[in-house]
Structure 1
């Protein structure tokens, strides 16, 4: 887990991971904590995870990113390694207004990672370079 997230958020993801592995569900107390730490985007992120909208794309060179199909059907690229999402909400709410730690897409990436529910897709280094540069998205969406 990246070190720029507050300790409470990192611990929350660890608790979710452990509990989900044991019980295949997130108990109410952790759902309440998730809502407390991340606000209204917590439920939206869980919905994206439930819909299997999160794909972890990786390349032979070891690069990794998450692509999340948002509620509008648009595909957003998220980088958990540097805490960034290409969506307008991230630019406005997180970067410009500093009102939230992250957007629902990045939160969905973290949650799907913790719960082991992200789709996996292997890409060539060339395909990954295109995604990382913002020139292309996956072709299967």
Structure 2
């Protein structure tokens, strides 16, 4: 990696893999093979475990913005996940509030994303995403609870 910025070409290839799952009903084995190109086995298995446990919640605001909350592996932990950020406003293309993202992605540049971001990408494609609409009050409460 170069300074915590994912090369645009790599982002495009990863997104094409994710889109293929949605569009072509790619087999699960084929998906795993493709994901192994980008991620270590333990990260893939951890993300799929979060998806299998229905720990990925997609929130949609009244104005159509989306964000994800991924419940962590340990009880009571949850993380705010933005699987795609506008590339012209930030130096990273994804974001998660977990410590692993801060260290492995932002600081050491050793991974493309954490298990929570990968789970947020995979859950909708695999039909395992809980979807909820948010009012403005719900959004304020959610953000307050996330960062207090």
Q: CA RMSD in A?
A: 2.0
What does residue 8 of structure 1 align with?
Answer: 13
Structure 1 unaligned segments of length 5 or more: list them.
none
TM-score by length of 2: 0.77
Count of residue pairs brought into register by the alignment? 129
What does residue 46 of structure 1 align with?
Answer: 48
**Structure-to-structure mapping, 1:1-141, within 5 angstroms:** 6-20=11-25, 26=28, 28-39=29-40, 40-73=42-75, 74-82=77-85, 83-131=94-142, 134-137=143-146
Using the TM superposition, give the Cα deviation of residue 122 of structure 1 relative to its aligned residue in structure 2, in angstroms: 1.4
Structure 2 unaligned segments of length 5 or more: list them.
1-6, 86-93
Q: Tell me the distance in 2 between the aligned counterparts of 1:106 and 1:36.
A: 17
Q: Could you give the per-residue CA deviations for residues 96-139 of structure 1, whole angstroms, max 9, x where no partner exists? A: 001111100010000012223200111111322444xx4224xx
TM-score by length of 1: 0.81
